[in-house]
Amino acid sequence: MIKMDGIVKKFGTQTVLSDVSFEAKQGEIFGLLGRSGAGKTTIINILTNQLKPDSGSHKISVSSYETGLMLDEDGLYDRLTCLDNLHVFADIYGIPHKNSSEVLEKVGLENAAKKAVSQLSKGMRQRLALARAILHKPKVLFLDEPTSGLDPNTAQGIHKLIQGLQKQGTTIFLTTHNMDEAVKLCNHVLLLHKGKIVEQGIPTEICERHNATKTVPDLEAVFIKMTGEGLS
């Protein structure tokens, strides 16, 4: 569904990604784990054609119309209401306005429909950004740190939404630096450190492979073992 092969990306003299290869299968929640600056956002930017790699190839097997995107910056229109923000994109995609209301309900923002975005909390903004990403029912969804900076409860709500989307057949590609989130949500994870893949596979299997299952699978321990550094 999503494939990268030997991707190298440099910014000036700094090599941000070196020889990154992986494949995410249809219907999976695929997690990209790494510390700040590891190159996670850069990978999303390359996959969504916002950045050109220096070498290597990449492919998504659906059209760009069928992909949804939530970036670290939400790009919402502060002065417009939640509903109007979604209507802009409904109009661009040529889909009926009632879809905007439906998707608002899905993310639990139906009571804030007429509120200006500038009056929303961070968690509400995040959910609205997610609503915009899924408005046109994409087959592939890219989420760049969808729960960063949110309290556990709000993050939980977003997790439920992501799992719900997977049940409907959406392939989800997400980045995170939260190990628990990765273990809980992802079918497949990729540990990225300073632009290099240090490990990848099914979370529980990775942990077993590295004898990092104490009471629960401990991805953090694997990460420290592989890189000599903690996550935060």
Partner 1 sequence: MRSVKAIFVKQAKDMTKNFSVLIMFVIFPLVAFGMTHFVARGNDDIADTMFTTMMAGIFVGMALIQSACTIIAEDREKKSLRFLVIAGVKPLAYLLGIGGVIFVASLLSSLAFGYIGGFNRNEFVAFMVVMMSGAVASIILGATIGIYAKNQQAATGLSMPIAVILGFSPMIAQFNERIEILARFVYTQQINVVVNDFSAGLTQPLVVIWLNIAVLAVLFIAAYAKKGLRS
Ligand X SMILES: Nc1ncnc2c1ncn2[C@@H]1O[C@H](COP(=O)(O)OP(=O)(O)OP(=O)(O)O)[C@@H](O)[C@H]1O
Residue from 3, 35, 87, 106 touching partner 1 (CB under 8 A): that is: 87
If the CB atoms of residues 120 and 174 are measured against ligand X, the closer one turns out to be 174
- Maximum Cα–Cα distance for the chain, whole Å? 52
Size of the site for partner 1 (CB under 8 A): 24
Decide if 141 contacts 132 (C-beta within 8 A).
no
Q: Does 76 bind partner 1 (CB under 8 A)?
A: yes
Residue 57 binds: one of Mg ion, ligand X, partner 1, none (C-beta under 5 to 8 A by kind)? none
Residue from 37, 75, 149, 164 touching ligand X (CB under 6 A): that is: 37
Q: Apex CA 223: angle with CA 23 and CA 183, to 5°? A: 60
Binding mask 40-59 for ligand X (x = CB under 6 A): xxx-----------------
Return the H-helix or E-strand segment holding 116.
none
For residue 59, the one-letter residue type is K
Q: Does 34 bind ligand X (CB under 6 A)?
A: yes
**H helices then E strands: how many in the chain?**
8, 9
Q: Does 149 bind partner 1 (CB under 8 A)?
A: no
If the CB atoms of residues 133 and 207 are measured against Mg ion, the closer one turns out to be 133
- Sorted by sequence, the CB contacts under 8 Å of residue 40 that are 6+ apart come out as 32, 34, 144, 145, 175, 192
Query: Nearest approach, Cβ of 58 to partner 1 (angstroms)?
Result: 16
